[in-house]
Structure 1
């Protein structure tokens, strides 16, 4: 059986996810929701088959889809996911899934009333084989002294901001900014590897509109700190590292996970990663499909993914508030 997939959002990341989903042979793209018929029709030309285009959300959700992938602006995630769950449709929502724990609690309560529906946050890197290799190596290290994760990439929309425009991805009104976008990757990695921190601090570089263009996060654990450096207003080519005592895991990019090395501190450096997939979303799409089709051998995987997503949401909110960044939904 293939899952009937509908998508909300017609941008490049939606195209990448659909390509990944189709590559698993477990999905069929059947429906596209777009604000305009023209944009929706244009998106369907990327794929074979006959996809219906909808401009009414309720009609789209009632069209017979099994699962919806939501890649709209962050501020719309809650409303659209809530409507999908009420309609009995499984949800895959792009990071960051929801603005704050209050929104997440409402979603969780609705899921409890609709036990056949599942919700996933799309954080692609933690499902990749190379992340699992990092996780295994961390568990083998005798001591952790700390870590630094870097993901700083100049946004194609930053030129628009400099020109006086108001791009959604750099706007508090759309629940966006550096932390809510690129910052989610290193934060997800830190919490997946080390758990919830005892404390967290965000030193944000704010734009004129009050959104964060870049920033540095310090996560405090009982015996070490983890530093996260990320942003959308510059490019960084710094490596990410996890420190033992003498030994170190060296990662070329904490989000892309192209190459991972283990340096034992005694002159021996080993590449421990596998070749990165052409499409980094295939493994997460397969993970979601396996859960929806009851193919997973470990029954707690869905619960663990949900708890991790909630932990990330909690820390994201605390970090934003520590930097004085408020979204409209925080009111």
Structure 2
């Protein structure tokens, strides 16, 4: 029987809560340790979720916490330093997407992992772990011809109300590496790279908002024989479906981020739903995948999956950085 993974968390927001609920459903993790800058917040989160210890000092969290794996869901700009601390302390790292903001950070993390071979690193890109995504992969392999795709993921963020009121929440701040590409856009980038590989050329057309970040944007990924268009927004809603184009047939996806329903449409317009699995918690499949690898990293399939996810994370990091470079979109502390 697999041992329980002792989990520590950084961050007490809604996404951390959702991940904690997912790991409980998986029955593979035991939440032991909670870090927050604020003691009251840490106590509330720990009490709600059954954690046994809280920390408000990050070094003490890693020095003294009784956990072997950490889930990092802090503001984007903090991921890198926190992941480095985790690796140095021998903790497996699950870092919420986007893992890091540039290729230098990613390269340093990979070097550290090479020096700490017992530490595992995962980027929590939940969409690629779902059964519905695997159904898309299988159907794509059956298309006789592929002529590109369009992926859309747009949801109005309640935090944009704060921007309109003159404030600057983390998700819309250059200081914290915020913006639409760094949030909902990551899902579409993962879709594209996981399904089609790395493009030859990219272009990004952002719509900037008052705080200087991209509130929405369109990215064009150019491949040798077709292009893939990514549309994403945190300042507007969209109900457009996403599509992968064959010759006369296509794959229709309700939403490039949620992937709730996938339909194959043949050349005669006959429609067949090929995936509509809705998990009790959308983060459950990734939590189960990570646990499978953590508990038996040397098993052939687990090792192959892990290396594929790690390579995919590096590709996504590179592509995200290249898109920002194309749009001359820089975060605080980066060289223009």
TM-score, structure 1 length as denominator?
Answer: 0.98
Structure-1 residue corresponding to 2:225:
223
Tell me which of 119, 122, 125 is aligned to 1:120. Answer: 122
1:271 partner SS: strand
Instruction: Report if aligned partners of 1:243, 1:249 keep a CA contact under 8 Å in 2.
Output: yes
1:321 to 312, 321, 325: 325
Mapped pair 1:309 → 2:313: yes
Equivalent residue number for residue 37 of structure 1: 39
Moved more, 291-300 or 135-144: 291-300
Normalised to the residue count of structure 2, the TM-score between the two structures is 0.96
Report whether the alignment pairs 1:111 with 2:113.
Answer: yes
Moved more, 320-329 or 214-223: 320-329
1:212-291 → structure 2 map (5 Å cutoff): 212-291=214-293
Tell me, in whole angstroms, the C-alpha distance in 2 between the residues paired with 1:231 and 1:129. 25
Instruction: Measure how far apart 1:300 and its partner are.
Output: 1.1
Cα distance between partner residues in 2 of 1:327 and 1:307: 24
The partner residue of 1:85 within 87, 97, 106 is: 87
Q: Give the drift of 1:156.
A: 0.9
Q: Supply the distance in 1 between the matched residues of 2:333 and 2:142 (Cα, whole angstroms).
A: 42
Whole-Å separation in 2 of the counterparts to 1:264 and 1:223: 21
Tell me, yes or no, if the aligned pair for 1:168 and 1:176 is still in contact at 8 Å. yes
Given that 2:20 and 2:31 are in contact with CA atoms closer than 8 Å, whether structure 1 keeps it comes out as yes
DSSP-derived class of the 1:173 partner = coil
Q: Residues of 2 paired with 1:113 and 1:55: CA distance?
A: 28
Where do 5+ consecutive residues of structure 1 fail to align? none
Alignment of 1:60-209 (within 5 A): 60-62=61-63, 63-209=65-211
Shift of 1:329: 4.3
**Which deviates further from its counterpart, 296-305 or 259-268?**
296-305
SS in 1 for 2:263: strand
Q: Return the alpha-carbon distance in structure 1 between the equivalents of residues 51 and 7 of structure 2.
A: 12
- Tell me if the contact between 1:8 and 1:33 (Cα under 8 Å) persists in the aligned partners: yes
SS at match of 1:46: helix
Q: 1:252 and 1:46 mapped to 2: Cα distance?
A: 34
Classify the secondary structure of the residue corresponding to 1:45. helix
Q: Distance in 1 between matches of 2:91 and 2:277?
A: 35
Map of 1:55 onto structure 2? 56
**Contact 2:34–2:51 (CA<8 Å) still a contact in 1?**
no
SS in 1 for 2:34: strand
**1:330 lines up with 2:331 in the alignment:** no
Listed one character per residue, the Cα deviations across residues 4-59 of structure 1 (whole Å, up to 9, x for unaligned) are 00000000000000111111111000000000110011112322x34211001111
Q: Name the CA distance, whole Å, in 2 between partners of 1:97 and 1:112.
A: 18
Distance 1:85 1:60 in 2: 13
CA contact (8 A) 2:131 2:277 kept: no
Q: Relative to 1, partners in 2 of residues 1:216 and 1:50: Cα closer, same or farther, differing over 3 Å? A: closer
Give runs of ≥4 in structure 1 deviating > 3 Å. none
Moved more, 201-210 or 187-196: 201-210
SS in 1 for 2:175: helix
Contact 1:18 1:29 in 2 (8 A): yes
- What is the DSSP-based 3-state SS (H/G/I as helix, E as strand, rest coil) of the residue aligned with 1:270? strand
Q: 1:242 to 1:50 in 2, by over 3 A?
A: closer
